[in-house]
Amino acid sequence: MSERSADLMPGGGGQLLLASGRLEVALQQIGPIPLEARFHCDAGELLALVGPSGSGKTTLLRAIAGLMKPQEGRITCGQDIWFDTVSGFDLRPQQRRVGLVFQDYALFPHLTARDNVRVALGHLDAAQRAAQAERWLARMHLEGLGGRYPSQLSGGQRQRVALARALAREPQALLLDEPFSAVDQVTRRRLQRELARLREQIRIPILLVTHDLDEAVALADRLCVLHGGKSLQVGDAETLFRRPASAEVARLLDRHNLFSGSVVECQGQRRLQWGPLTLEVAEGLERLAPGQAVTWYLPDSDVVLHRGDRASRGEGENPVTGRVSEMVVMGGTTTLAVQVDHVEATLRFDVSTHAARRNALVRGERVQLSLLAAGIHLLPDESTEEMT
């Protein structure tokens, strides 16, 4: 057994299992598939790749693993170059030391769980592989199941075997392609918790492809928004949900409050004209000229609903009135749609179902709102060139 393998053998407690360096990816075009992706993932970080079907998420994982070859770009992990078109460097998949977990697990049906893991242990002496496979199965809470075939395991157990096999390669990076999509919701949450715990013991980059934004926010340190093979924005969830880089990013993240307006001069101050309404904006208008068209976004958390005579935060800030056009109750949260007076626009935001019932909110009722100035985020106008 190599010295490195001995150091990384599965152990208990908080023992560090695997470690490597930053994964950096800059790729363009894979055959007929358009691609323009650039991002990095630090050791010990989990980066979620999110976007609609066909946005290039799985293609990127396969390119990083060496299963698809881009026409141009560079992939490095720590000090190791995996792919570089400038120098003509291109490591084979077996040389890249990537742990890849597919959506369907891709276990060998004719091999037991133990042997599925053992096939990833080619870097060890043959006599040591069975015992090491058992250790990885134990790490994934699969003690006593090493002799079962995939068909004899539950979906969650097959997922753990696939993860054990991926980690048994002692990878420099772990790539997860929709790893929890094929299991029921209870098992999904359990596996998500186990991944979160596992992260405390490995210091390698982890890329997670998922269609589930809630899953991405819960598990990832940062998100990379992809569309049409292009990485549009990378950042933590708070930044992306409050300050999307474009209207396209906001829509891909299922954000609703996107509107058009223009810059006006009002008593020596720049303001945002929205129909007949003039709104105060905390930041960004000073960079724009009066008359310039803008697209603007407001997180639903910065829409404040005022009820009766009760004082609320931001009560005098950008006040608007409207009528509740829709109420959708989803457990403890109620989503409201308010048709704003004098503007052909609808604001959408959430309130607690308890608050909605306590205030006897019903469809058709008139309400008063405030749009917090600090929450208004200016975006490049979609019909003009980008903001100066």
Q: What is the mean pLDDT of each successive set of 10 residues along the chain, which is 388 residues long?
A: 38 68 94 90 97 92 95 96 96 93 89 94 87 92 93 92 93 94 86 90 95 94 95 97 96 94 91 95 92 94 80 73 95 95 94 89 93 93 44
Fold classification of 3-251 is Rossmann fold (3.40.50)
Spatial distance between the Cα atoms of 354 and 345, rounded to a whole number of angstroms: 26
| Radius of gyration of the chain measured on its C-alpha atoms | 25
Q: Do domains 3-251 and 258-306+316-379 have the same CATH topology?
A: no
pLDDT at position 313 is 59
Summarised one tens digit per residue, pLDDT across range 21-52 is 999 999 998 878 888 999 999 999 999 999 99
Place of tokens 């809630």: 214
DSSP calls for 146-176: TT--GGGS-HHHHHHHHHHHHHHT--SEEEE
Spatial distance between the Cα atoms of 19 and 255, rounded to a whole number of angstroms: 37
Spatial distance between the Cα atoms of 40 and 337, rounded to a whole number of angstroms: 38
Phi, psi of 34 (to 5 degrees): -65, 140
Q: Where are the domains of the chain?
A: 3-251, 258-306+316-379
Contact at 8 Å (CB) between 131 and 6? no
Residues 6 or more apart in contact with residue 185 via CB below 8 angstroms:
none
pLDDT at position 162 is 94
CA atoms within 13 A on the CB side of 86: 6
Environment class of 309 (CB within 10 Å of its CB; exposed 0-12, middle 13-18, buried 19+):
exposed
Summarised one tens digit per residue, pLDDT across range 235-278 is 999 999 999 999 999 999 999 999 999 999 988 889 999 999 99
- Strands, sheet with 319-330, edge to edge from the N-terminal-most edge strand: 303-306, 366-371, 319-330, 333-340, 346-352
- Candidates 294, 289, 300, 368; CA nearest to 328 is 300
pLDDT at position 255 is 93
* Burial letters 141-153, b for 16+ CB under 10 A, else e: ebeebbebebeeb
DSSP state, residue 283: S
Among left, alpha and beta (phi > 0; psi -120 to 50; other), residue 143 is beta
pLDDT at position 193 is 92
Environment class of 368 (CB within 10 Å of its CB; exposed 0-12, middle 13-18, buried 19+):
middle
Spatial distance between the Cα atoms of 198 and 177, rounded to a whole number of angstroms: 17
How many residues appear in the chain?
A: 388
Number of H helices, E strands in the chain: 10, 23
DSSP calls for 104-138: T----TTS-HHHHHHTT-TTS-HHHHHHHHHHHHH
pLDDT at position 308 is 61
Among left, alpha and beta (phi > 0; psi -120 to 50; other), residue 56 is left
Phi, psi of 192 (to 5 degrees): -65, -40
Adjacent-strand bridge partners of 319? 370
pLDDT at position 309 is 53
pLDDT at position 310 is 57
Adjacent-strand bridge partners of 89? 84
Q: Which CATH class is domain 258-306+316-379?
A: mainly beta
pLDDT at position 32 is 82
For 57, 58, 228, 356, the CA distances from 53, given in Å and listed in that order, are 8, 10, 9, 35
